[in-house]
Amino acid sequence: MITEYEKDLLFLRQCILYDDSAERHKLEASIIQLQRNERCVRRAVGLMALLTALALAGICYAAIFLAPAPQSLTQLVTPFVLKIFCTLGGGSLICILAFGTLGWVYRKQMDQRREECRRLATRLLESRLGRPRNTQPTE
């Protein structure tokens, strides 16, 4: 499902296609790269969330079936497996935090590019149609 934010950016990108300047090409390339980066970060966050869920499931499983004194090889290995699940879960949570921060940085950069698109589209419209006569919105 496409969000309002994405619709706005798509419209602005369509508007600036009428400009054939180097600035537009550079802006377009920058937007495409940022969108790729954002998709990649979203996928990484999803993968880390899955790993966190699996680690939590493993910790719960080990906690339920953990015997107080090891009576077999399986029970002897269980604390080691529990440590692995805890490490996996902790590492995944740290990665979610790091990827979330990176996603926020990419979103801020995308906001800047969107503003540049607005300026370029406004300049393009003014060059083709002239300045608007009334800049005050009527109610």
Min mean pLDDT across 16-20, 70-74, 118-122 is at: 70-74
Q: What is the mean pLDDT of residues 5-9?
A: 84
Q: Distance between CA atoms of 1 and 16, rounded to whole angstroms?
A: 24
Q: Which whole number is the average pLDDT over 9-26?
A: 86
Alpha carbon 45 to its chain centroid, in Å, reads 8
State percent of the chain over pLDDT 70: 87
pLDDT digits (tens, 9 = 90+) for 43-92: 999 999 999 999 999 888 877 776 565 566 566 566 777 889 899 999 99
Given a contact cutoff of 8 angstroms between Cβ atoms, the answer to whether 48 and 97 are in contact is no
Q: How confident is the model at residue 11 (pLDDT cuts 50, 70, 90)?
A: confident
CB 60 within 8 A of CB 83: no
Around Cβ 46, how many Cβ atoms within 10 Å?
Answer: 12
Q: Residue 19: which of 115, 113, 128 has the closest Cα?
A: 128
Angstrom distance (rounded) from CA 60 to CA 32:
42
Q: Per the structure block, which two tokens stand in for 84?
A: 């692995």
DSSP code at position 131:
S
Domain boundaries, the chain: 4-129
